[in-house]
Structure 1
Amino acid sequence: MFGIQLSAIFTSKASFAAIDQALAIVEFDPKGYVLRANEKFCAALGYSLPEVKGKHHSLFADPAYARSPEYTEFWAKLGRGEGDAREVSYLAKGGADVWVEACFTPIRNSRGVVQKILSTAIMIAADQRRTAGSDAKFDAITRDQAVIEFTPEGQVLCANENFLELTGYTLAEIKGQHHRIFVEPEFANSSAFAEFWASLRAGKFVASD
């Protein structure tokens, strides 16, 4: 379900630092090996970055699941460029289960080839398991910002209350609509707009005033 998230305020690098502090973030290569993990991810599972870098995602998975056909298909799906969002139980270094709401987003290069998988997650308490959906994810990530989430093609998946209040829409009015409804028609029909979305699909950060 996880698509492209755009803040109504694009220009502040501080907002990205805040996201890095709020979310457990880990990047994998297309085969599932860790490229990078932020401090929140490492701390939640009791590892240091050197301990996980280069290790396979199966290090954090239940051993039985890691050997299953479902797990093989999960990584095959990501390698094909299909995103995934699910409630996940990660296995911490000490053996404890750490429950998260995780989104796995394939990032493509300019040739359209998947070059890495970005996983972002929020921790969920035991009493929130199987009830923490996309609305809870948005509230936790962007409580103080206006945020909208799109598919890689630009269709609206979800938007938080701040965004809806700012634009005067209801979620029902915009869900499934294209980003172009929020911009001037001249820009929506321009090559710059097409390039903007091509850059986002390629995993590039795009800033706008």
Structure 2
Amino acid sequence: VKYATDITAQKLQTADFQGQLDAIGKSQAVIEFEMDGTIRWANDNFLNTLGYTLNEIKGKHHRMFAEPSYASSPDYAAFWQRLNEGTFDAGEYKRLGKGGKEVWIQASYNPIFDPSGKPYKVVKYATDITAQKELQRQVAENAERERIAAEELQRKVEQLLEVAVAAGQGDLTQAITVDGIDSMGQLATGFREMIRNISQTLEQVNGGANQIDAGSS
């Protein structure tokens, strides 16, 4: 009876373990490698994410998913060295799919050990975060554009203030370099026209005064 109970418990444990693996496989991209980086197997989620069939990648090296500059770097060699030492690696990784398609994944590379404690394969569990990375890129680009626009606006305001201060002190010779079709550009155009009109008026007044002086003398 005890033997039968042990077998039943073992079967339940195995079924539970397999059920967990199946659940992971349904929600995540999974791929297995030999310790030298050769691809053993990948599930449909992984294949769909990278755009390959299993026949197109099985037996090839992991470097097919990496940018050539990284695949030939000391960092890449160290990456596989750590895995061979039994150390897992996790983080966000930029990978290349079929046709050079850029794919970002949140992944963990997990060495699997044999009964003697020696790693004999690496299993990677990954989630496609390409959309999130693209959104982050767009947000960063928008923030940079807004920063540049704010700096340009500040420059225009400061330049117009300098001209206004100079005009208030009687100096109407300061050039207004602000232009454009935005509100600041339109303001600068109006300001420029105003200063030109004031200058012309002053010239006329000065001219009239000179004529009066000449007539009185």
Task: Tell me which residue corresponds to 1:43.
Answer: 48
Q: CA deviation at 1:89?
A: 1.2
Q: How big is the alpha-carbon RMSD for the aligned residues of Structure 1 and Structure 2?
A: 2.1
Q: CA deviation at 1:113?
A: 1.0
Q: CA deviation at 1:62?
A: 0.7
Any conservation in 1 of the 2:96–2:103 contact (CA below 8 Å)?
Answer: yes
Relative to 1, partners in 2 of residues 1:83 and 1:14: Cα closer, same or farther, differing over 3 Å? closer
Q: CA deviation at 1:16?
A: 3.3
TM-score by length of 2: 0.52
**Relative CO higher for 1 or 2, CA cutoff 8 Å, sep ≥ 6?**
1
**1:1-209 matched pairs, under 5 angstroms:** 11=16, 13-128=18-133
Give the structure with the higher percent strand. Answer: 1
Percent sequence identity over matched residues? 40
Give the structure with the higher percent helix. Answer: 2
Cα distance in 2 for residues equivalent to 1:79 and 1:15: 25
Task: Tell me which residue corresponds to 1:173.
Answer: none
**SS of equivalent residue, structure 2 residue 16:** coil
| Alignment gaps of 5+ in structure 2 | 1-14, 137-217
Cα distance in 2 for residues equivalent to 1:110 and 1:21: 28
Task: Tell me which residue corresponds to 2:176.
Answer: none
Q: Deviations over 1:63-91 (max 9, x none)?
A: 10000000000001100101000101110
Cα distance in 2 for residues equivalent to 1:41 and 1:127: 18
Cα distance in 2 for residues equivalent to 1:113 and 1:13: 22
Larger Rg: 2
